[in-house]
């Protein structure tokens, strides 16, 4: 089996960095970027095609891990909170607007919004 060319190695490296950039957690993102960079740098001098192939396989496996974990560790809790907040706020807006229309008291509806949001 032909061993991976330099272009393929560089392409894998770029893809891994691009995927690592998508981690929403600061610590995971910085670790992935740093580790990928250091691993490719450390193995840069390897000549033996069998070893190169093995390392590339490992790299592709790790790329899979990164892609899956980026999806799984997206900050779902915070996203939910924001959505819930948006709902409450839009509800307040509607109420406030209706209130404003009937009473023409803009200040009162503004303070209503602030307390509920």
Q: Which residues bind another protein (CB under 8 A)?
A: 23, 27-28, 30-32, 34-35, 38, 62, 65-66, 68-69, 72-73, 78, 81-82, 85-86, 89-90, 93, 96-97, 100, 106, 110, 113-114, 117
Closer Cβ to another protein, 5 or 84, answer by number = 84
Burial 76-107 (b: 16+ CB within 10 A, else e): eeeeeeeeeeeeeeeebeeebeebbeeeeeee
CA 7 to each of CA 12, 14, 105: distance values in angstroms, whole numbers, following the listed order:
9, 11, 68
Closer Cβ to another protein, 50 or 98, answer by number = 98
Torsion (CA) 99, 100, 102, 108 in degrees, nearest 10: 70
Q: Which two tokens stand for residue 19?
A: 């995927």
Closer Cβ to another protein, 5 or 93, answer by number = 93
Query: Token match 């891994």: residue?
Result: 16
Residue 48 CB, shortest distance to another protein, in Å, is 20
Residue 76 CB, shortest distance to another protein, in Å, is 12
Residue 86 CB, shortest distance to another protein, in Å, is 7
Closer Cβ to another protein, 5 or 35, answer by number = 35
């Amino acid at each position: 089996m032909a061993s991976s060319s330099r272009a393929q190695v560089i392409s894998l490296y770029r893809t891994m960095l691009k995927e690592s950039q998508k981690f929403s957690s600061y610590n995971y993102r910085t670790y992935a970027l740093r580790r990928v960079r250091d691993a490719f740098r450390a193995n840069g001098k390897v000549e033996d095609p069998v070893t190169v192939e093995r390392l590339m396989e490992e790299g592709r496996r790790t790329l899979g891990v990164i892609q899956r974990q980026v999806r799984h560790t997206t900050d779902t809790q915070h996203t939910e909170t924001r959505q819930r907040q948006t709902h409450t706020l839009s509800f307040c807006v509607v109420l406030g607007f209706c209130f404003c229309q009937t009473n023409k008291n803009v200040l009162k509806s503004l303070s209503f919004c602030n307390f509920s949001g």
